[in-house]
Amino acid sequence: MNRTRPRTAVLLLASLASLAALTGCSAGGGAAAQAVPPARVTETAAPAPSAAPVRPLARSLPVRVRMASTGVDAGPVLELGLAADGTVEVPSVADADRIGWYDKGVTPGETGPAVLIGHFDTARGPAVLKDVSRARAGDEIAVTRADGKTVVFRVRELEQVDKDSFPTAKVYGDTTRPELRLITCGGELTGGHRPDNIILYADLVAVRAA
pLDDT at 20: 55
Residue 151 CA to residue 148 CA, distance in Å, equals: 10
Percentage of the chain with pLDDT > 90? 67
Residue 2 CA to residue 91 CA, distance in Å, equals: 11
Cβ pair 48, 156 in contact under 8 A: yes
CATH architecture of 13-44+59-208: Beta Barrel (2.40)
- Which has the closest alpha carbon to 68: 9, 179, 152? 152
Q: Which long-range contacts (CB under 8 A, 24 or more apart) does 28-34 make?
A: 28/122, 28/123, 28/192, 29/123, 29/189, 29/191, 29/192, 30/123, 32/123, 32/124, 32/125, 33/121, 33/122, 33/123, 33/125, 33/189, 33/192, 34/189
- Which has the closest alpha carbon to 33: 169, 165, 190? 190
Mean pLDDT by 10 residues, the chain (210 residues): 45 41 58 60 73 89 98 98 89 97 97 97 94 95 98 96 94 96 93 92 93
pLDDT at 183: 98
The torsion angles phi and psi of 164, rounded to 5 degrees, stand at -75, -10
pLDDT at 10: 37
What lies within 8 Å, CB to CB, of 85 at 6+ separation is none
Q: Which residues on adjacent β-strands are paired with residue 207?
A: 151
pTM, 2 dp? 0.86
Query: For the chain, which residues make up each domain, given as ranges?
Result: 13-44+59-208
pLDDT at 13: 30
Mean pLDDT for all residues in the chain? 85
Residue 139 CA to residue 105 CA, distance in Å, equals: 23
